Amino acid sequence: MPPFFFIMKVLITRSTAVGGVHLEAGETHDLSDKDAVTLLNMGKAKEAVEECSMPEASLPPAPPTASKTKKVKASVNSD
């Protein structure tokens, strides 16, 4: 009986090679769980997130970014 393995979808974060095949950074690939875990542990891949079919309007709003306050120098008026 052949060995049983799972397929994992990963996002390649650093260009690398798996099984003699070059994988470019930014690409998503289906890899065996053994290869995927190896790349995850090496920091060369992250688990791919499935795209959400929800429209963007239903997503929660992004938190507001803090704006930097400007320092104002006090002016001295001599009368």
> Looking at residue 12, which CATH number applies to its domain?
3.40.5
* CA atoms of 50 and 70, how far apart (whole Å): 42
Range of the domain at 14: 7-50
12 inside domain = yes
pLDDT tens-digit profile of 23-50? 999 999 999 999 999 999 999 999 998 7
20 inside domain = yes
Helix (H) or strand (E) holding 17: strand 16-18
41 inside domain = yes
Residue 69: which pLDDT band, with cuts at 50, 70 and 90? confident
18 inside domain = yes
The answer to whether the beta carbons of residues 14 and 25 sit under 8 Å apart is yes
In three-state secondary structure terms, 41 is helix
- Short-list 50, 44, 51, CA closest to 12: 44
62 inside domain = no
Average pLDDT, the chain: 81
Give every strand in the sheet of 28-32, ordered side by side.
28-32, 7-12, 45-47
33 inside domain = yes
60 inside domain = no
Number of domains in the chain: 1
